[in-house]
Amino acid sequence: MLPRQLFRLKRSMNETLDPQLESWVPSAQDPATPFPIQNLPYAVFSRTDGDAARRIGVGIGAEILDIRACADAGFFEGEALTAARACSGDTLNPLMALEPRYWRALRHRVSHLLSIAQKHLFSSLESQVFVRQKDVRLHLPVEIHNYTDFYSSIHHAMNVGKLVRPDNPLLPNYKHIPIGYHGRASSVHSGPMTIRRPFGQVKAADQEVPQFVPSRALDYEVEIGVFVGQGNELGRPVTIDRAGDHLFGFCLVNDWSARDIQTWEYQPLGPFLAKSFATTISPWIVTSEALEPFRAPFARSDEDPAPLPYLTSKENSERGVYSIQVETAIRSARMREENIDPYVVSKGSADSMYWTFAQLLTHHTSNGCNLVPGDLLASGTISGVERCSWGSLLEVTRRGQDPLELPSGERRGFLEDGDEVIMRGWCRREGARSIGFGECQGIVAPAVG
Ligand code: CA
């Protein structure tokens, strides 16, 4: 049997992904919901009406299914029960640390419980196991021990490179090695959040010495993050054919960046305080399994060097790409006052990444470095060829020289205090039910000196 046929067969055997599958939860049947029964993303929530304890839930339509409450009701057995018990704390790390077969067992059981024929099971339990999303606060779903940010969009690398090296924008290593840096895990949070404008050292080209001032070039970067499931032992790299088993699920990432601080500090060791003040992620984690229908072949142009063998596999070539669409919108304080909708600045796609997530994870461990459950690996800014797909203001406004005009008539080179940045993500494909990531949201607050 040809691999493609085998893949279709394997996929058709996964009934949780069947586009015809329906849920008895009415809001999950809304064609516009990001959370139909085919998605089932995880989040950590607490109720806003009294019980503030953090719990793990699965998004379904406009509701959250409380996994611990379902376990208490006796809805799980076998591997699904083991996985559900790993969801009794207030982070997803214990679930992530299990082997993928446990993730799959829990997803399949939850999908079955929410499918149309199973409503009777919930008759007297609905109020105990469901909570409306509008009645909860969502929290950081994972204890993130390590955060690595890559640079895997070649269009972003070209756009940024052109600003500093117009004649030679791409550095010679780019097409051979995934570029990344170690980010700061402690300042990763999930929104909606207030981002305090950072102070930092800034030196303009015509100044002799730097000043310590609030950043005047605050920016966002739209990225996709992947959470590591099982880790690897120190000294034991993950080979590319096993990389998929370590990818638990995905979220949206806003890598807030202070461009003026970055310009002065980044040589020779890369970004530091220009990035470490805040990173926002979307609070829902969309699992790798939910994204199966949206995987696509990974291919390079014939003119580009083929990746080295340790970054090459049949599976990666056939379906290494996760075809996730992202968009970024800005809403200023005045737009909120005047009730103007957020202005969509860009729409991009993970299809344009030069490296796949499997390659990023494999490369990360290739020197023996150990990853641990809940580590966050981010793609780097997602930008495509056209300006309407560029994922940072640095690119869109060419470092502020070509400002953006908002519907309120305000102009933006970089972000102003009160600006809200909203990122959304979704996957759509003919023959599959569309699924979404929810929002990654943050508002810029004035610097405090
Ligand atoms: Ca970044």
pLDDT at 192: 75
DSSP codes of every residue in 201-261: EE--TT-SS-EEEE-S-EE--EEEEEEE-S---TT-PPPTTTGGGGEEEEEEEE--EEHHH
Distance 47 CA to ligand 1 centre (A): 33
pLDDT at 134: 96
Rounded distance, CA 421 to CA 112, Å?
37
Distance 39 CA to ligand 1 centre (A): 27
pLDDT at 336: 98
Distance 209 CA to ligand 1 centre (A): 27
| 409: region left, alpha or beta (phi > 0 left; psi from -120 to 50 alpha) | left
Distance 208 CA to ligand 1 centre (A): 29
Tokens 């940072």 locate to 392
Distance 238 CA to ligand 1 centre (A): 24
Specify whether the CB–CB gap between 298 and 320 falls below 8 A.
yes
Catalytic residue among 156, 246, 363, 364: 156
Distance 251 CA to ligand 1 centre (A): 14
Distance 88 CA to ligand 1 centre (A): 33
pLDDT at 81: 98
Q: What is the pTM of this model?
A: 0.95
Which parts of the chain sit beneath pLDDT 70? 1-13
pLDDT at 1: 44
182 is an active site residue: no
Rounded distance, CA 66 to CA 42, Å?
10
Quote the DSSP letter at residue 359: H
Residue type, 341: D
In 67-215 the beta strands, taken as DSSP E runs, fall at 130-132, 136-139, 147-150, 180-182, 188-190, 193-196, 199-202, 211-214
Per-residue model confidence as pLDDT tens digits over 257-298:
999 999 999 999 999 999 999 999 999 999 999 999 999 999
